[in-house]
Amino acid sequence: MRLKMNHKAPYPPQLRMPLRELQAEAPSPSSQEKSDAVYFVLGGAIVLVILFILLFVLWKRFKLPAVPVTKADPSEEKQSVYGKYDESADVMNMIFASKQQSGSSEFLSGNLRTISYFAYQTLKKATKNFCPDNLLGSGGFGPVYQGKLVDGRMIAVKKLSLNKSQQGEKEFLVEVRTITSIQHKNLVRLLGCCADGPQRILVYEYMKNRSLDLFIHGNTGQFLNWSTRVQIILGVARGLQYLHEDSHTRIVHRDIKASNILLDGKFHPRIGDFGLARFFPEDQAYLSTQFAGTLGYTAPEYATRGELSEKADIYSFGVLVLEIICCRKNTDHTLPSEMQYLPEYAWKLYENARILDIVDPKLREDGLVEKDVMRAFHVALLCVQPHAHLRPPMSEIVALLTFKMEMVTTPMRPTFLNWTHRKDDEA
């Protein structure tokens, strides 16, 4: 049977759409291009974001830690300065582990606190271009100037001398690292520093009465009574006790002397100048090192054999105590030969039971308690014992000075080095 196809059979309703409507629903070439462009832009943006994130992660990994900014002088323009030094990695990371900005920004330099970074122009302005009239003193590493910041704060600015041996650079790094890792009321407080180009400058709190040597070596005309001298002796002893025994890091100062003892308005002492300080291993009795310090204050084992320990500081402290009691330098070549070297002269008087002969005449006139002077004198002789192990630790010295311990040890004759042919100056 033949089937007859009906070519005119109707399409299902869903297929009977006018041709023009089908043409209208079909995407035009122009709209397709627009969609492709949108997808391309979005894809490119996503790729850029991913690249930016990757670059940011790499930058944070290899970039030195950033610095929180604080304002010290609003008048100064902000600029970036990087500290670059030929020092060991640990010192670099501790001291200049960040980007520094002028005027000033804080950066971590130790475990306990932060210090500020000062722009050179800020310090130049504060000291009136390092005017000689503002000179407070001058040491082996450079002059110290009085300054005043725009906020009215008084500061002491130590401008280090950078010589060919880079000793000033080393002292700068050591002092910043050391003094920002310790904190005690009898240690000078470092406010900040400057490493602007070739400049290496340390900024300290200003001490109204400057340094002890001006009162016991100089001619200021100001008399220090016995209670003030005891306050100074005891304060220095407590500062050294902290460095040797109580600090989280054992530190040997290496240059305890009158010019490094600073005095505030009430004559409370603070140990300063940590440029020669050494961090000392806990498991070692002494370090073998090259001599550095001031002749006349130096322990014999350190001066002759380079054996450095905290007992070297104790020896220097003993010489300092004698100077405070006598109000004279430890070495004075203008005096008769038997009196020129103070520890040697003090020992002779001790042997002959004439200790009070060495006391500052003005102190005797003002009135003093002899047993207190005798105790301080006895402590000084214990500190300058010939062998390091015979010198008492600073905690015991503090106990002796505060009458918390009885004086039972008899001192031995100290070792007297022949310094008469050498200058009493920085080595």
| Rounded average pLDDT over 119-129 | 93
Residue linked to tokens 């009465």:
209
* C-alpha Rg value of the chain to the nearest Å: 36
The residue from 255, 273, 313, 360 that is catalytic is 255
Give the rounded percent of residues in the chain with a pLDDT score beyond 70: 73
CATH architecture of 80-205: 2-Layer Sandwich (3.30)
**194, 208, 212, 265 from 262: Cα distances, Å:** 22, 9, 6, 10
User: Strand runs (DSSP E) across 118-233, as ranges?
Assistant: 135-139, 142-148, 154-159, 190-194, 201-205
- What is the domain partition of the chain in residue ranges? 80-205, 213-401
CATH architecture of 213-401: Orthogonal Bundle (1.10)
Contact (CB, 8 A) for 424 and 329: yes
Lowest mean pLDDT among 53-62, 81-90, 397-406: 81-90
Query: Does the structure show a pLDDT above 90 at 98?
Result: no
b/e code 161-193 from CB counts within 10 Å (16+ = b): ebeeeebbbbbbbbbbbbbbbbebebbbbbbbb
Counting Cβ atoms within 10 Å, is residue 283 exposed (0-12), middle (13-18) or buried (19+)? exposed
pLDDT band at 9 (very low <50, low <70, confident <90, very high): low
pLDDT band at 139 (very low <50, low <70, confident <90, very high): low
Query: Does the structure show a pLDDT above 80 at 423?
Result: no
Q: Does the annotation count 360 as an active-site position?
A: no
DSSP state of 249: S
| Rounded average pLDDT over 417-423 | 50
- For 214-229, write each residue's pLDDT tens digit: 999 877 778 999 999 9
Lowest mean pLDDT among 12-21, 86-95, 291-300, 373-382: 86-95
Report the alpha-carbon distance of residue 400 to residue 233 in Å, rounded. 12
**Which two three-digit tokens encode residue 365?**
């006139």
In angstroms, how far is CA 233 from the centroid of its own chain? 23
Query: Does the structure show a pLDDT above 70 at 4?
Result: no
Contact (CB, 8 A) for 376 and 320: no
- For 243-288, write each residue's pLDDT tens digit: 999 988 889 999 999 999 999 999 999 999 888 888 877 777 777 7
Report the alpha-carbon distance of residue 198 to residue 161 in Å, rounded. 10
Give the model's pLDDT for residue 18: 53
Q: How many CB atoms lie within 10 A of CB 223?
A: 13
| Rounded average pLDDT over 280-309 | 83
Give the model's pLDDT for residue 258: 94
Give the model's pLDDT for residue 68: 40
pLDDT band at 67 (very low <50, low <70, confident <90, very high): very low
Report the alpha-carbon distance of residue 48 to residue 73 in Å, rounded. 40
pLDDT band at 82 (very low <50, low <70, confident <90, very high): very low
Q: Give the relative orientation of helices 226-241 and 370-383 as an angle to the nearest 10 degrees.
A: 30
pLDDT band at 142 (very low <50, low <70, confident <90, very high): confident
